Amino acid sequence: MIASFKSNPIILHWLRYSFYYFSVMTIQLKLTLAMMMLALVSFSQAPSIHTFTVKTVKGGVISLSKFYGKKVLIVNTASFCGYTPQFAGLELLYKNFKQYDFEIIGFPCNDFGAQEPYSDSTISVFCSSNYGVTFPMMSKISIAASDTSPVYKWLQRANLNGKQNATVNWNFNKFLINESGEWVRYLPSTVDPTDTAIVNWIAKPSSLTGIGKSSYLKDHVELFQPAGLEGKLLLRASGAMALPIQISIFGMDGKLIHTFSIAQIQSGNEGVILDCGFGKGLYAASVTSGEMRDTRRILIE
């Protein structure tokens, strides 16, 4: 019987084909399983910091998704560090820009020089009584230790944030996060909170066109220096604007310089001249109408 199988070319061909077929199918199955595993790993990674939930210094719990639509500066803090006076600069930055979709989140940490020995409750009192801190402070975390906070794992590892590796090596290192919760930039302790690198980034127009209706203002409202008019700006809309418009002009240090309020702009209007009376330079302008807001930079020459 076996001899007849061996002598039968049709049966031999079928056996060889079956062996080849099942070998190929086994390889394909292994590749499929490998791709599925990679997909699961990718899915488990968080491209946005908004997927995390954190504990506050006062014992509450918040989801970072509440900061969607806002630019965020994240900083690890300590109460007894040479950089601790940066709390004052951080608070100044926060007060100047918080109304323009900007947030600061502080994470106390004792990993660097053991310079944050306080408990959460004492940290909260220290920050408010010494520096008048009003921006959100989170519960004390670990960064350099084996039990690194999930948020700081994400901030420091390119395979998690999808952007870049960055090692926190001391207190008051800073991370910039855009409105979508995406990693933008790492800044070391030596960069002051009011540095132009940070202020210019805050003043830069939103990277999201879908926040509220800000894209409408960007597309339909012009604000620029007209030719031949020094120290003046022209506000012009491509259609009627029934709602009042407010223009706030800031220096690049974040300080408010002037605010203009216009009741409305009629369709076909040639524009409204805003007499600013300030010198040449780069400024940030916030244009607000109802719930719509747009931020842009303006060069006065």
Q: Is 81 a catalytic site residue?
A: yes
According to DSSP, the β-strands at 102-108 and 71-77 are: parallel
Q: Residue 216: is it exposed, middle or buried by C-beta count within 10 angstroms (0-12/13-18/19+)?
A: middle
The string of DSSP codes covering 220-266 is HEEEEPPTT-TTEEEEEESS-B-S-EEEEEEETTS-EEEEEEES-B-
Catalytic pick among 81, 109, 127, 276: 81
Distance, in Å, from the CA atom of 181 to the CA atom of 231, rounded to the nearest integer, reads: 37
Distance, in Å, from the CA atom of 284 to the CA atom of 232, rounded to the nearest integer, reads: 14
Tokens of 20: 């080849």
Distance, in Å, from the CA atom of 86 to the CA atom of 94, rounded to the nearest integer, reads: 12
C-alpha separations of 177 from 65, 72, 182, 233 in Å: 12, 5, 5, 31
3-state SS track over 187-210:
ECCCCCCCCHHHHHHHHCCCCCCC
Distance, in Å, from the CA atom of 93 to the CA atom of 72, rounded to the nearest integer, reads: 12
Tell me if 245 sits within 8 A of 262, measured CB to CB. yes
Tokens of 281: 């330079």
Q: How far is CA 110 from the centre of its chain?
A: 25
Please identify every residue annotated as catalytic.
81
